[in-house]
């Protein structure tokens, strides 16, 4: 029992082999990954619609399904980080509209160049995230309530300020302002590969997913994110800056929401004051489908990106299949329940003492 250093390195030596260590097959190893359920789901959904409709598995179909998946996916990935850190942000959906309105008003009403307007929208996002984060860590209230509050505040501001400034509930004409073309090229243009047209947001989506995965799995900050969601008291006792980590996660989500808001306003050229309401649940649903636990401490950025992909595929697949789009909600509900049950099972397994 005392000399045990290299047991695993010599499994063919029967005496050194640890009988408690069952052979870990590829299947079991995969099952331990949080994104497995989402990956299987994605393949199944793709296979179903590819078989059911002709247009789905074409370059045009793929471009169409990746477009909504990308915008949602960017948000789902950062919301997944926040959820792994043990918190929610219900204000993230409305924040995309707030950012769009800030940019639209600063450019069309105040005559600002698009680029500094985007920068100011990102600053605004950082302030909202800071407010969310500080309120949560200072008061100790559940983030569900705190961000529900900021959700309502932002929603009220979006409608109220827009009506005061424009006397309507939308701001348009962003494409006639200075700097629009260059900003459009960076945040919203489409590019062609082969027969398909793809939005540049897809590249942003891939970039955000890769960056988030790297931070989560290969940096100190990532280790802290898992720990503040998994057991904040333990994290604090070993010197992890719990409050700072959580606040930064809130800021990350709100700034990213502001970025997505910029992408949407550049693409649509106008922004509705009631845009984005309800999107926050889609972000959370995509993150849960991707393997995030609602209780924090477990999840994956890649999983959330795949969750968003399933969203995009189902949305587009239902259109191609000629079904009523209301069926999308039913599909979503079933998927969410399945994913939540799978995650719960995985967590119980991970926490079960042997």
Beta carbon of residue 139, minimum distance to another protein (angstroms, whole number): 24
Binding mask 159-198 for another protein (x = CB under 8 A): ----------------------------------------
Beta carbon of residue 290, minimum distance to another protein (angstroms, whole number): 16
Beta carbon of residue 3, minimum distance to another protein (angstroms, whole number): 8
Of the pair 266, 342, the CB lying nearest another protein is at: 342
235 is a contact residue toward another protein (CB under 8 A): yes
Q: Position of tokens 């290299």? A: 6
Q: Per DSSP, what are the bridge partners of residue 271?
A: 171
- Tokens, residue 11: 């499994």
Structural contact between residues 163 and 169, judged by C-beta atoms closer than 8 angstroms? yes
Q: How far apart are CA 174 and CA 262, in angstroms?
A: 11
Of 88, 226, 283, 320, which one interacts with another protein (CB under 8 A)? 226
Of the pair 5, 325, the CB lying nearest another protein is at: 5
62 is a contact residue toward another protein (CB under 8 A): no
Strands 271-272 and 170-171 turn out to be: antiparallel
Q: Of the candidates 13, 73, 96, 57, which has an alpha carbon nearest to the alpha carbon of residue 307?
A: 73
Q: Choose one: 97-105, 110-118, 195-203, 234-242; the region binding another protein (CB under 8 A).
A: 234-242
230 is a contact residue toward another protein (CB under 8 A): yes
23 is a contact residue toward another protein (CB under 8 A): no
- Tokens, residue 320: 């191609």
282-341 residues in contact with another protein (CB under 8 A) are 293, 297-298
Q: Of the candidates 142, 51, 165, which has an alpha carbon nearest to the alpha carbon of residue 89?
A: 142
Q: Of the candidates 3, 37, 22, 25, which has an alpha carbon nearest to the alpha carbon of residue 300?
A: 37
Q: How far apart are CA 96 and CA 78, in angstroms?
A: 13
Of 227, 254, 275, 282, which one interacts with another protein (CB under 8 A)? 227
- Tokens, residue 97: 């509209």
26 is a contact residue toward another protein (CB under 8 A): no
């Amino acid at each position: 029992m005392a000399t045990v250093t290299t047991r695993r390195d010599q499994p063919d030596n029967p005496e050194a082999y640890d009988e408690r260590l069952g052979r870990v097959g590829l299947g079991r190893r995969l099952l331990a990954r949080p994104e497995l359920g989402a990956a299987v789901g994605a393949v199944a959904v793709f296979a179903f619609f590819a078989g059911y409709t002709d247009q789905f598995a074409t370059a045009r179909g793929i471009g169409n399904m990746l477009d909504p998946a990308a915008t949602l996916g960017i948000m789902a990935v950062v919301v997944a980080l926040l959820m792994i850190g043990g918190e929610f942000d219900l204000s993230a959906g409305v924040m995309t509209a707030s950012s769009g309105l800030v940019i639209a008003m600063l450019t069309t009403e105040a005559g600002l160049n698009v680029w500094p307007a985007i920068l100011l929208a990102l600053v605004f996002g950082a302030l909202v995230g800071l407010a969310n984060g500080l309120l949560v860590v200072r008061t100790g209230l559940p983030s569900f309530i705190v961000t529900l509050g900021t959700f309502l505040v932002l929603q009220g501001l979006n409608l109220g300020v827009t009506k005061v400034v424009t006397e309507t509930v939308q701001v348009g004409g962003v494409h006639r302002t200075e700097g629009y073309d260059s900003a459009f090229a960076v945040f919203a243009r489409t590019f062609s590969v082969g027969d398909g047209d793809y939005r540049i947001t897809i590249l942003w989506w891939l970039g955000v997913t890769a960056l988030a995965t790297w931070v989560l799995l290969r940096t100190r900050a990532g280790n802290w994110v898992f720990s503040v969601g998994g057991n904040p008291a333990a994290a604090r006792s070993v010197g992890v800056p719990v409050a700072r980590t959580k606040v930064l996660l809130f800021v990350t989500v709100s700034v990213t929401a502001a970025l997505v808001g910029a992408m949407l306003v550049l693409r649509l050229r106008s922004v509705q004051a009631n845009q984005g309401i309800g999107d926050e649940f889609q972000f959370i649903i995509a993150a849960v489908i991707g393997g995030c636990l609602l209780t924090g401490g477990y999840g994956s950025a890649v999983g959330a990106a795949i969750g968003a992909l399933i969203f995009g595929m189902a949305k587009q697949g239902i259109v191609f299949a000629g079904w009523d789009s209301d069926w999308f909600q039913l599909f979503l509900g079933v998927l969410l329940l399945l994913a939540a049950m799978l995650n719960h099972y995985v967590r119980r397994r991970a926490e079960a003492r042997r």
